[in-house]
Structure 1
Amino acid sequence: MSQQNWRDVYFNSSDGLKLYSRDYGPQDGGQTAVLCLAGLTRNSKDFHKVATRLCATRRV
């Protein structure tokens, strides 16, 4: 079984919608963070492969 390399993050938007995101990588990374935004019918899992590659040196 592999170790999970992200944090689950939940928050509420101003209109009450509950939103979910994944936070990969170091919280205090020195490099510019990468923000991946999913479209209307997509989700955070679409970015899992790229996030696991980038999270060694960046927050994704």
Structure 2
Amino acid sequence: MSFSDYLADKKIDGPQFQQAEPAVYSEWAALFEQMHPDSFTVQKKFLINALRRRYMLRLSDD
């Protein structure tokens, strides 16, 4: 699973997150590559929830 797939699974708009907070995005992407997705989730759980509220992934109804 890639970091962008992980963000989409968590309903976070990856490109918007990357553009708004490039340093945090890069740091998290590097950490994600070093650990299991479940471990990453546990480590960043409360931060992920805050990110989801700021960068909610909008799905089109096509």
Which is richer in helix? 2
TM-score (norm 2): 0.36
Q: Which has the higher contact order (CA 8 A, sep 6+)?
A: 2
Higher Rg: 1
Q: TM-score, normalised by structure 1?
A: 0.37
